[in-house]
Structure 1
Amino acid sequence: MARSYEQACLVARALDVLGERWTLLIVRELALGPRRYGDLLEALPGIGTSLLAARLKHLERHGVLRRVALPGPGRAAVYELSGQDEMPILAALAEWGARLGPTPVGHRVRAAWGVVAMRLTALEQAADYDTLTELVVDEELLWLQGDGEQVRVELGRAPVKPALRLTCDTRTFFALARGNVDVDEALASGDLAVVGDPDAARLFFRLFRMPGAHPVDTVK
């Protein structure tokens, strides 16, 4: 049973639901789209099977996520967020975390985690970014697209042929996302490959940037 602060305080009550270790990282993973139990276990090394199961049940009980069956043979179950209410919390944490300085040596790095932070803290105009964009970063594959109201990000190949595909290694991706290098420089060096309109690639890295990235001109 989850512990409670037993305080009549809105902050304490929120922490009763989201404050346990691993809980918000599960939410972060589900911000990348529906995930199977095994996918979550692999993405969160160290959590353990029983603790993950307990956290998922806790979040499902409080309406943060739900378990749904995929269509097709076997009807495998996946977990997905019930809504977007927790996204401002993750965004604020990402902004605050950016002020902690460089990541310590030896910490695990994934481009997908960077994309979550970039999506959560993107410029308001990012919701109108309707170019279906596929990112291939070393062994990671994910896609992103705005629908006018919010930006959808999911792991895996884009559902249809993307209008823009960006291919690079993890180092180059974060250099672009932090504003340490621009698209033209990465293209010239061969560190970035673009299939599609290079202007769309430039716009992508102007709209979506890591918190604390070097400032860029306002997007028109």
Structure 2
Amino acid sequence: MTRSYEQTCRIARALDVLGERWTLLIVRELALGPRRYGDLLADLPGMGTSLLAARLRHLERYDVVRRTVLPGPGRAAGYELGDRGTALTPLLASLVEWGGGLAPPPPGSFDRAAWTMLAMRLTAPGEAVDFDTVTEIAVDGETLWLQGDGERVRLETGPAPVKPGLRLTSGRATFQALATGRTTVDDAMASGELAVQGDADRARLFFDLFSLTNPSPTHGR
């Protein structure tokens, strides 16, 4: 049973829903798009299946997550953010910024390019919503896609649903260096560490907008 602080304070009441271990990481994963239960379990190493099931049931009660049917063959069951979960986007963005000031994680910590790309989207400036090129990002076996529609930036795991106008392929170290401004698109292309399919100017704009060095993010996308 989920514990309660039994306080009227709104912070305490929010923590009654969100304060348990793993809860916000489930929200993080679903901020990358709808997912199957097995995919959530695989991408949350260290979380057992019974605990994940319990957390999902708890979050469903508050419309933080909801069940959905995933597109594609077989129409598999999955989970997505509910309206109350989507409303947590500014909180996730603030946690990205706050966490950026901490010391680096211990060597060997589990890492995914998807988490870096999510942080890039969450802290991007407001004009990023106008980046309407369907962009596919392939990093060491991980594939994601992104597109702005003028109101929000959609980011999901997996191949783009249509032929991308821009495809970026690199290793994890190069992607991190591009994301944090430690190298440029031109230098990474010249060294062969970044492959760009599409307009190189759009690739430069992508890393200008979706950069973890952006000083003035606008939240709520």
The TM-score by the shorter chain falls in which range? over 0.9
The runs of 4+ residues in structure 1 deviating greater than 3 Å are 70-75
Q: 2:137 aligns with which of 111, 135, 138?
A: 135
Change (3 A) 1:179 1:64: same
1:121 to 2:123 alignment = yes
Check conservation: 1:179, 1:215, Cα contact below 8 A.
no
Aligned residues: 214
**How many angstroms apart in 2 are the aligned matches of 1:9 and 1:136?**
44
2:171, 2:193 within 8 Å by CA — same for their partners in 1?
Answer: yes
Q: Unaligned regions of 5+ residues in structure 1, if any?
A: none
Counterpart for residue 15 of structure 2: 15
Query: 1:85 maps to which residue?
Result: 87
TM-score, with structure 1 as normaliser:
0.93
Tell me which residue corresponds to 2:219: none
CA change 1:107–1:71 in 2 (3 A) is closer
The aligned amino acid for 2:115 is W
Q: Secondary structure of the equivalent of 1:99?
A: coil
Q: How does 1:188-199 map to 2 (within 5 A)?
A: 188-199=190-201
Between the aligned partners of 1:73 and 1:110, the Cα distance in structure 2 is: 26
Deviations 1:167-191 (A, max 9, x none): 0000000000000001111011110
Stretch moving more, 42-51 or 70-79 = 70-79
Q: Does the 8 Å CA contact 1:180/1:214 hold for their aligned counterparts?
A: no
- Judge conservation of contact 1:178–1:214 (CA < 8 Å) in 2: no
**How many angstroms apart in 2 are the aligned matches of 1:43 and 1:193?**
26
Give the secondary-structure state (helix, strand or coil) at the position aligned to 1:199: helix
CA distance in 1 between counterparts of 2:72 and 2:179 reads: 38
In the alignment, which residue of structure 2 is the partner of 1:147?
Answer: 149
Check if 1:50 corresponds to 2:50: yes
Please give the alpha-carbon distance, in whole angstroms, between the structure 2 residues aligned to 1:2 and 1:132.
41
Do residues 34 (structure 1) and 34 (structure 2) align? yes
Aligned residue type for 1:118: M
Deviations along 1:40-93, one digit per CA (max 9) or x if unpaired, are 000001110100000000110011111012467754211000132011111111
Distance in structure 2 (CA, Å) of the matches to 1:54 and 1:143 = 30
CA contact (8 A) 1:145 1:153 kept: yes
Task: Report what 2:209 is aligned to.
Answer: 207
TM-score scaled by length of structure 2: 0.93
Whole-angstrom distance in 2 between the partners of 1:132 and 1:148:
13
Secondary structure in structure 2 of the residue aligned to 1:172: helix
In the other structure, the counterpart of 2:188 is 186
